[in-house]
A = this chain, B = another copy of it.
Amino acid sequence: MDGHQTPAAQAAMTLRYGAGAEPKPGPWNDTLALLLSHRSVRGFRPDALPDGTTETLVAAAQSAATSSNLQTWSVVEVTDPAVRKELAAIAGNQKHVEICPLFLVFLADVSRNARLAEAEGKDLVGLPYLESFLVASIDAALAAQNAVVAAESLGLSTVYIGALRNDVTRVAELLGLPKGVAPVFGLCVGHPAAGREGEVKPRLPQEAVLHRGTYDAADAGHRAAYDPRMAEFSRRNEMAADNWTQRVIARLGTLTALRGRDKLKEALIGLGFPLR
């Protein structure tokens, strides 16, 4: 169904932005409804997924754009319960990493290109630069987001596990990664457990994120409007009532909260990304 905004569309915008903060109405269809209704889920049923689900999600992932068709990403499906358990611990004891029926680790991967060059007797002088690590991480993110959309189109839920970056060195050992491959994040996929379906999380007003022509830094008013919305969401969902301002400061205000990711640069260099 394609068309202009329907009552359902308006409802989706209200859930995402809060009443009174909906952006200007535009075109609408079922795919937009799917995208707008995204929520991260952290409690899964262990039930196995239909045969071929992993392959279908990866086909969607490989269909995303990749910089210069370099395809500098890979993904590992992790099934071994002992490895899952250790990955969950690295991620700050996120139990859903153990329980979800499908757990994927997305990788920045320049090793495939390096192997190809070695076989041809060439030197890829562009590889050691920060740019190549960034391209590989962006490739992985674009691919993963397509996998997320694909999963949600099949009625499945997901959550990204960025906390694998707490210890990329150990994750790399567990997955047997060669030089030039680094974990970027994990992804849990499965059916939500009863009562764990979650709620659409409100985002900043669109005016705070979308700039016209040049960047507009005058966003204090947008934050003032958003803080109580997030506090209300937290009260309903997390038995706390932190607003966004408090959460950002809690997340970024101490080195402890980085949980080891202040050492990420050295760890990536150790995994074969000189980040020149």
Known: A28-B56, A126-B257. A16 touches B213 (CB 8 A): no
Set B132, B154, B206: member contacting A27, Cβ < 8 A: B154
Per the bound structure, the CA–CA distance linking A117 and B246 in Å amounts to: 9
A59 at interface by CB-CB < 8 Å: yes
A4 to chain B: closest CB distance in Å?
8
- Assess whether A64 is interfacial by the CB under 8 Å rule: yes
Whether B77 lies near A213 (C-beta < 8 A) is: yes
Nearest residue in B to A187 (C-beta to C-beta)?
Answer: B65
The CA-CA distance from A229 to B39 in the complex, in Å, is 38
Q: Does any Cβ of B come within 8 Å of A194's Cβ?
A: no
CB distance from A197 to the nearest CB of B (A): 16
Which bucket holds chain A's interface residue count? 35 or more
* A137 in contact with B137 given A59-B13, A112-B208, A217-B178 (CB within 8 Å): yes
Q: How distant is A266 from chain B, measured CB to nearest CB, in Å? A: 10
> Scoring A residues 37 to 57 as 1 if CB is less than 8 Å from chain B, else 0, what string do you get?
110100000000011111110
Residues of B within 8 A of A112 (CB): 204, 208, 219
Give chain A interface residues in 257-276, CB to chain B under 8 Å. 257-258, 261-262, 264-265, 268, 275-276
